[in-house]
Each structure stands twice: as structure tokens, then as C-alpha cells.
Structure 1
Amino acid sequence: MSGPEMDLGERSDPSRAVAFSDAIFAIIITLLVLDLRVPDVPPGRLLSGLLGQWPSYVAYLASYSYVAVVWLNHKAAFNRIRQVDRGLHWMNLFVLFTTALLPFPTIVVSHALQEHDNADQRVAIAFYAMVGGLLCATWLAFYHYLARHPDLLKEQVKDGFFHVERFRAAAGVVLYVLAGVIGYLVAPLVGLAVFLVPPVFYAVTSAGLYQFRMTRRITRRFRPPRD
């Protein structure tokens, strides 16, 4: 079999990968909400019961935000992809695999914080950080693959775009490792607070660091002069 014929068999339009990924993201977000339950309290104590479940709300917010920005980054990446080969399919499946893990550590963190056992809370925060860092690592591999295979990208994609995007993924790995270390060695609640930082960072830069820098330049250019 010749090279071009093999390429036709191994490469495909990205639409099927995007549709499959969107379905997985929808299922993951649905699973996250299952840990939010009506508190088992006696009559007249509903308010205190709801307030006592605040760890579930924080964990849900952190994980929902993370899945949301993963979807935004996924969309931004595939908007720049012209074709998908077998290797990129595997990179995408790794990203989906680690994203699908998020509901589990979310429940672990929620339950540990409500049980008020400091040792379990430290382990739970470290466990969540490990999964979050692993997800960022799969994005690093995903971006690295695209940087090494520019022939899969659309012609208008800037040279080196995904080379730069690897920095975003590496920054996430560092942030989650930092959150895990702080949560385990210092204070679990501080580590939990750090978990809210990566989703904000990825949301702001979801269109890419190139677009983020361009937006900042435009904002400075049209900023009204100070009196």
C-alpha cells in the first residue's frame, strides 16, 4: 500500500472526534452534580444542613469550572485542526480519560471535608491535585503532538502556536502540584482554594496565549488617556 493511500485510511475529518468528545464532556458534567444531595437532617434544620454541605459546593464549583474550561480549550484546539490521525485520536482519548476521572476526586474531597478528619482531608486534596495535574499533563502531550505535526493543522494557524500552548499546560501541572503540596503539608483548605486558580487561568487564555496577548495590546491601545 502506498503512502498517500495509507494516509487516507489513517486520517479523518475532526468532526467525529469533536462530537464524541462533546458527548463525554456532557456526561462528566452531569456526574459532577450527583454528589449534591438533600441533607439528612431533622425537621427545622434544613438551612443548617444545606450550609453544612459547603465543601460539596466548593468542590463542585472547582470541578465544573475545570471541565468547562477543558471544553473551551478543546474547542479552541480543534478549531485549528484540519485532519485527525491515529496518534492525535489517542492524545484526545487520554485528555478525555483524565477529564472523566474528575468526578471521583471531587466526591472524595467533598466527603473528606465534611467528615472533619484532618488526615483524610490532606490525602483527599493531594489526590485531587494528582488527578488535576495528570489532566494538565495529557494536555501537554496533546499540544506537543500538534506542535510536532503541523500538517494536521489548518493553513491559517500561526507557526509555533501549539509550541507556546504547551506552556499553558505545563503551568497547570505546576499549579496542581503546588496545591497538592500546600494542601497536604500546610492546610487542606488553602490547597482547595488554589484549585480555583487553574480554571480561571485557562478560562482567560482559552483562545490561546497569542489571542490573550493580542487582546491586552488592543485594550491598552484603546484605553482612554488619564487626566
Structure 2
Amino acid sequence: MIIGCLHLKPLPGSPEFDDFDEVLEHAVRNAKKLEEGGVDAIIIENFNDKPFLMEVGKETVAAMTVVAKEVRDTVSIPIGINVLRNDGIAAASIAKAVKADFIRVNQLFFPSVMPEGFSDPIAGKLARFIRSIKLKVMIFADICVKHAVHFAGIENYIENADRSFADAFVVTGEATGKPPKISDVKYIAGRVRAPIIVGSGITPKNIEKFRKYAYAFIVGSYFKRGDEIDVEKVRRLTTLF
């Protein structure tokens, strides 16, 4: 399963926000390209809202909801939401409004230090919120997410995986565009009951070695040429499946 990452242009409230009509047009245009290229699902992410906040403002939630609704109405494949840097409550709220199929949470359980600050785990708060709004959505939770320093190691995450209420676990490299260690993916896949998703650094050259252990792949950087999706690059990867 290939999940194409839709990196939104800067949204209202972020320092580099410019024009919301262009945000919408860019999102819809590139969502169409991802579907045309053959991805199985799309995850929508406020990738350009740098520097990130741990919890975003109401304007970001409103903007992402509008964009996600447009994307949902445009494509026929499942969509998901990731609100950076770790706003699972916002992601769940947007998912409820637009009937998204899944959300990604970068720090669901165990704390870490990120460039944006200290990141508290939100598993308990998120589980209760999802229950309170009667939301049916899959949760993709990172294990030792990229761009962060972790107090807990992989073994700690594995031991507590079942208590997080995650439906799948995302394994990444140290940074955007860098793949995880195959040894880490293999080890985690053999120790947890939920499926594994490789969440960074996937290209046609390296995907084959991960396929035995991963249920799905989130692909963002490889599919892009500048800030636009390259349909041919999408096809180059999806045809391998």
C-alpha cells in the first residue's frame, strides 16, 4: 500500500502564509496527481507551517478542514490527516468533519524533545477525545519519530505498543527523506501485533527490501519536483506494486 503525502502550502496563521485560494488550488491539483499516479491513499499534512507548534491554532484547524474537504470531494481514495507537530486532537477534529479514514500522530506515547520543544505523549487524551466525538478512524502512531530526541528506546515503545490504541506503527529515519534502518523495521515488525508503515526515505531503489516487513509506505519527498507532485515519479513507484 502506497500512501502519498500531500504537503500543503503555508496555511493561515503560519509565518509564510500568502493566499488561501492558492493553497486550495495547489492541494486539489496535487491530490489529483497522486491519485492519477496510482497511490492507494493520501495523507494531508501542514508540512510548510514552519516553525511548527505542538498544538495549532483554530485558524489552522479551520483551514485544514476546508482543504481536506476539497480533497475528499476530489479523489476517490482514502484520505488521512497529520497536524504537525503533534496535534492529534486537531487531526481527529478534522477527520470527524471531513470523514477522513485515518490520522497520524507523531508522538502518541512517551515524551521526546523536538526542535519545537518538549513533546508530551497524547495517547490518553486522544483516546478519550475520539470516544467523546464518536469518531471512527485509524490511528497511525510513530515509533521514535524523525527530527526528535527520544528518552525511550525502541524496546520501550514495543513493550507499551498495545496500550497506545494505535492501529499501525510508523517507522522513519532520522530526518525527512532518510529511510529507517532495515534492522529496526524488521525488529519492530516481529514484536508488535499492529502493521508497520515505513514513513520516510522510500524510493524505487530501496522499497523492495522493506516490503517483507511493512504493510504500507508513506511517500512524500520522492514524489515531488519542487513543491509539485510529479505523476511520472509516482507511477515509477506504484507500478512496483
What's the TM-score bracket when you normalise by the shorter of the two chains?
under 0.3
Task: Choose 1 or 2 for highest CA Rg.
Answer: 1
Query: Higher helix share goes to which structure?
Result: 1
TM-score, normalising length: structure 2? 0.24
The TM-score, its normalising length taken from structure 1, stands at: 0.25
